[in-house]
C-alpha cells in the first residue's frame, strides 16, 4: 500500500454530500472501487480503498473487513441498519450520500481520486 498515492477523504465529503455513519473516518484512502457484487469486490478491490455501493446488507461490512477496505460509501441515500453500523469493525468507516454511484464516482474523479 505504501507505493499507492494516498487520497485525503475529508476534503471531498462536501462535494459528495456524504454523511458519515460511523465516528471514525480514515484520513486517506488508497483508491476507489465501485461494485454491488460482493464476489467482485472480493476479487478486485485493493486494500485501503473507498468502496462505493448501493448494497446495505450486513455482508458489505464483512466483505469490507475481509479486504481491509478503509471506507464504504452507500449511494442513492441508502443507509444500513443501526445494528449493522454498530457491527462495522474498527477501522472501517461507513458513509452515505444521496448521489447515485455514477454521480459520486464523477465527483471523486473530479476531486482527483484517480
Partner 1 sequence: MGVSTVTARTSVPVWDEQPGRRSVPLAQVLVYELRVRDAMSKPPVTAAPQDSLRSIQHLMKAHKFSGVPIVEGDRLVGLVSIEDIINALDRGHINEPAERHMTRNVVTLRDHYSLLRAVAEFERHGFGRFPVLDAGDRLVGMITRGDITTCLMHHLEKRAEEAIAHEAALVAARVADEKAERVVIRAPVRTGDYDSAGKVSQRMRQVLRERGIDPEVRRRAAVVAYEAETNIIIHSLGGEIVVTIDPDKVVIEANDVGPGIENIELAMQEGWSTAGRLPRELGFGAGMGLPNIKRCSDRLEIQSDSEHGTRLRAEIFLKRAGGAE
Considering only CA atoms, which of 73, 20, 63, 57 is closest in space to residue 41? Answer: 63
- Least CB distance from residue 9 to partner 1, whole Å? 21
Residue 4 φ/ψ region, left for φ over 0, alpha for ψ in the -120 to 50 degree band, beta for the rest: beta
Distance CA 33, CA 24 (A): 20
Least Å distance, CB 15 to partner 1, is 26
Residues of this chain that bind partner 1 (CB under 8 A)? 36-40, 42-43, 47, 53, 55, 57-60, 62-63, 65-68
Q: Output the smallest distance, CB 94 to partner 1, in A.
A: 16
Choice between 18 and 60, CB closer to partner 1: 60
Amino acid at each position: 500500500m505504501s507505493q499507492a498515492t494516498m487520497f485525503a477523504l475529508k476534503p471531498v465529503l462536501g462535494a459528495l454530500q456524504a454523511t458519515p455513519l460511523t465516528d471514525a473516518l480514515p484520513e486517506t484512502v488508497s483508491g476507489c472501487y465501485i461494485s454491488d457484487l460482493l464476489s467482485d469486490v472480493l476479487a478486485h478491490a485493493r486494500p485501503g480503498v473507498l468502496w462505493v455501493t448501493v448494497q446495505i446488507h450486513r455482508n458489505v461490512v464483512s466483505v469490507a473487513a475481509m479486504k481491509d477496505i478503509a471506507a464504504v460509501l452507500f449511494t442513492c441515500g441508502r443507509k444500513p441498519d443501526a445494528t449493522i453500523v454498530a457491527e462495522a469493525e474498527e477501522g472501517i468507516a461507513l458513509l452515505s450520500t444521496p448521489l447515485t454511484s455514477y454521480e459520486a464516482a464523477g465527483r471523486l474523479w473530479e476531486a482527483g481520486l484517480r
